[in-house]
Amino acid sequence: MREWFRQLESRFVFLLLGGAILFFAFLSLWQRNQMIHLGYEIEQLHQQKAELRRIHQSLLVEAESLSAIERVEQIAARQLKMSPVLPEQRVYIKQAKDGRAASDREERAR
């Protein structure tokens, strides 16, 4: 009976150790799989970031070209039939120390 109990005990220990080894092997495989998946995801995000930076740069260039003073003057003259401003028609705005904006005409009126 003792011999049978020892055999059962050694089988149980063998199964327990084997199960632990299998558990850690599957855990290691799962972790490696997750790392590979996250690596692909990180690479995809890097590519997306580079594409967004390229788009941002092209939009900055486009905004700069659209707001160029020469272009605005051409549109004003051609489409809106505006004429160049005369020196006496200009109003310069100064920012006061309190943060308010005041024109030269307002300054002279004070």
Average pLDDT of the segment spanning 36-51: 98
Which residues contact residue 71 at a Cβ distance below 8 angstroms, ignoring those fewer than 6 apart?
65
Tokens 């002279």 correspond to 108
DSSP-based helix, strand, coil % in the chain, nearest 5: 75, 5, 20
Whether pLDDT at 73 is above 90? no
Sign of CA dihedral 36, 41, 42, 48: positive
Q: What is 26-70 written as a DSSP string?
A: HHHHHHHHHHHHHHHHHHHHHHHHHHHHHHHHHHHHHHHHHT-HH
Average pLDDT of the segment spanning 45-57: 98
Average pLDDT of the segment spanning 26-44: 97
Would you place residue 103 in the very low, low, confident or very high pLDDT band (cuts 50, 70, 90)?
low
Q: Tell me the C-alpha distance between 39 and 21, whole Å.
A: 27
